[in-house]
Amino acid sequence: MALTIPDQFSAIRSYIEKRYIADEIFRDIYDDYLTYLDAHRFWSRNSTDVAPVRRREYAQLVSELEEELIQMLKKG
């Protein structure tokens, strides 16, 4: 499977991959998480006037989804 696994989740890669395949809700949240993570990286490299605001917005979204994913993984 070629699922993108960020460094902070690399230790539990196989568990995430299994959960991603088996759980549609987890998969949807994880896909959103990756999208927001990419957007955060984009705005972190951007130097326009709006970049700091967008960077903070996406950092917050990434953090919230990361926490939600962790809670889902803990519940099994």
pLDDT digits (tens, 9 = 90+) for 16-63: 999 999 999 999 999 999 999 999 999 999 999 999 999 999 999 999
Whether residue 38 lies inside any domain: the answer is yes
Residues of the domain holding 35:
10-75
The 10 Å Cβ neighbour count of residue 74 is 7
Whether residue 5 lies inside any domain: the answer is no
Extract long-range pairs of 18-23: CB within 8 Å, 24+ residues apart.
19/72, 19/73, 23/72
* pLDDT value of position 8: 86
Whether residue 4 lies inside any domain: the answer is no
CA distance 70 to 30: 11
Whether residue 57 lies inside any domain: the answer is yes
* pLDDT value of position 38: 96
Whether residue 50 lies inside any domain: the answer is yes
CA distance 24 to 36: 18
Q: What is the dihedral of CA 56, 58, 63, 64, to 10 degrees?
A: 110
Whether residue 2 lies inside any domain: the answer is no
